């Protein structure tokens, strides 16, 4: 239950939402709101929207006097589902949620034409509650139209944040003690195409790293395997402060399914991407998004997606059972039975767990850098530079946010065991 004098933001979905939720928290404070709950929703699947509605009802039962504001992609794309909920006080679209005045407006619903938005406003975020790594938005929106996806209609077209604003934000976070920064957006490998001179992502990162010598760890969110520019390849090869963990926006491992998804790559492109990255940075590890049971997917097509886990040596999988989104081309294709979708998703997840165990075993005996994330009754948890979870033992005291070296001494099913050196 939320105390009457406090406000809170409940976040669903992606890392970009995590960043925006921190901005929202600051805006709600600036607007002098009291006893306000903001629910920042996701629209990537039908299940994500259902969970948001369920959470709203529960929050209202627990906090009957609170005002509930709903925002995010689900609110932008389909505000009617929230307008019909008596628990909801106000609905804000993705553009409106980043404006302080929206939180004091008398209007119940503020949904702008997201496709008309041409810029992504910079917001100076001081920190992220309960987190030791900070997210920095470099881009928003997407110019692609994958047949299963509604996100462009929630986020608009691609638009980038200028380098100077990114540097100012990161410098501010470094001054507040953050040692790891994650660059986030909807399609970050499309960065810069709307800016003067059209700087690409690699050029931006090279300049950013040069301007911020105190930045110790930099991560990227999902990258598109066919949108990597040559400058970014050079950064991957030469810059140790860029962490050796790349997450691919893959979605499938079968070429016919990829074409029906209207993706820009083939399975061979993904395999070549991983091979090149590994040649340039032998210690790099990969994650990927995979959708199980996309319309028309046969057993053979599903098997191709399963095979690509080993062919790319993927260690981290985000598996999504296909979820039909209204008014998308994929929703009009022949659908796979839901029981089969569930079964194929489970097969991918099991293969992903085996692949993750392989990574843990490969790291045995290595010395790694660890960012300490939590300390609970002497139990020290953190993430390695490969983003692998680790439990540490240390002969000297540590605090949350410390960056230390550790030797890997063992493993469990889901994490490494290490000793600070």
Q: Mean pLDDT of all residues in the chain?
A: 94
| 3-state SS class at 85 | coil
Tell me the domains of the chain and their CATH numbers: 8-112 (3.40.50.12160), 133-362 (3.80.30.20), 367-420 (2.40.50.140)
Q: State what percent of residues in the chain have pLDDT above 90.
A: 89
pTM: 0.91
- Which residue in the block uniquely carries the two structure tokens 């590890």? 285
Helices (H), 266-329: 267-280, 299-311
Please compute the mean of the pLDDT values over residues 339-357 and round it to a whole number.
Answer: 98
| 3-state SS class at 165 | helix
* Contact of 258 with 301, CB cutoff 8 Å: no
Lowest-pLDDT range of 60-64, 125-129, 354-358: 125-129
Which pLDDT score, from 0 to 100, does residue 1 have?
53
Which pLDDT score, from 0 to 100, does residue 152 have?
92
Q: Give tens-digit pLDDT for 279-308.
A: 999 999 999 999 999 999 999 999 999 999
CB atoms within 10 A of CB 413: 8
Q: Give tens-digit pLDDT for 46-57.
A: 889 999 999 999
Q: With 70 as the cut, is the pLDDT of residue 38 above it? A: yes
Which pLDDT score, from 0 to 100, does residue 5 have?
55
CA gap 290, 224 in Å, rounded = 13
Q: Give tens-digit pLDDT for 83-115.
A: 999 999 999 999 999 999 999 998 999 999 888
Helices (H), 112-244: 151-155, 163-175, 201-211, 230-238
Q: If we measure between CA atoms, which residue out of 252, 239, 260 comes closest to residue 289?
A: 252
Indicate the pLDDT class of residue 204, thresholds 50, 70 and 90.
very high
């Amino acid at each position: 239950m939320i105390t009457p004098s406090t406000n809170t933001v409940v976040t669903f979905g992606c890392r970009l939402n995590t960043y925006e939720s921190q901005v929202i928290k600051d805006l709600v404070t600036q607007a002098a709101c009291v006893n306000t709950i903001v629910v920042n929703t996701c629209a990537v699947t039908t299940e994500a929207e259902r969970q948001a509605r369920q959470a709203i009802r529960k929050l209202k039962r627990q906090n009957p006097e609170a005002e509930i504001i709903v925002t995010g992609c689900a609110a932008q794309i389909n505000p009617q589902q929230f307008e019909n909920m008596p628990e909801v006080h106000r609905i804000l679209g993705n553009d409106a949620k980043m404006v302080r005045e929206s939180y004091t407006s008398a209007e119940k619903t503020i949904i702008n034409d997201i496709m008309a938005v041409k810029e992504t406003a910079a917001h100076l975020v001081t920190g992220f509650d309960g987190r030791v790594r900070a997210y920095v938005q470099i881009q928003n929106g997407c110019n692609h139209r994958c047949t299963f996806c509604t996100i462009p209609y929630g986020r608009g077209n691609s638009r980038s944040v200028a380098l100077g604003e990114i540097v100012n934000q990161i410098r501010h976070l470094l001054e507040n003690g953050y040692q790891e920064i994650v660059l986030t957006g909807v399609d970050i490998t499309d960065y810069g195409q709307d800016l003067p001179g059209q700087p690409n992502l690699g050029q931006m990162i090279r300049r950013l790293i040069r301007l911020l010598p105190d930045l110790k760890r930099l991560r990227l969110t999902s990258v598109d395997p066919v949108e990597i520019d040559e400058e970014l390849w050079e950064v991957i090869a030469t810059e140790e402060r860029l962490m050796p963990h790349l997450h691919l926006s893959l979605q499938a491992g079968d070429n016919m399914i990829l074409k029906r998804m209207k993706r820009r790559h083939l399975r061979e492109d993904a395999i070549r991407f991983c091979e090149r990255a590994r040649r340039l940075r032998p210690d790099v590890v990969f994650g990927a998004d995979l959708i199980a049971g996309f319309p028309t997917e046969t057993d053979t097509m599903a098997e191709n997606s399963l095979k690509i886990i080993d062919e790319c040596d993927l260690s981290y999988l985000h598996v999504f059972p296909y979820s039909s989104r209204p008014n998308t081309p994929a929703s009009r294709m022949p659908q796979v039975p839901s029981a089969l979708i569930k079964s194929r998703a489970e097969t991918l997840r099991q293969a992903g767990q085996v692949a993750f165990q392989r990574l843990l075993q490969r790291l045995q005996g290595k010395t790694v850098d660890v960012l300490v994330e939590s300390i609970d009754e002497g139990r020290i948890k953190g993430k390695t530079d490969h983003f692998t979870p680790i439990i540490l033992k240390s002969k000297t005291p540590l605090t949350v946010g410390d960056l230390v070296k550790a030797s890997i001494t063992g493993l469990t099913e889901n994490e490494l065991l290490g000793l600070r050196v």
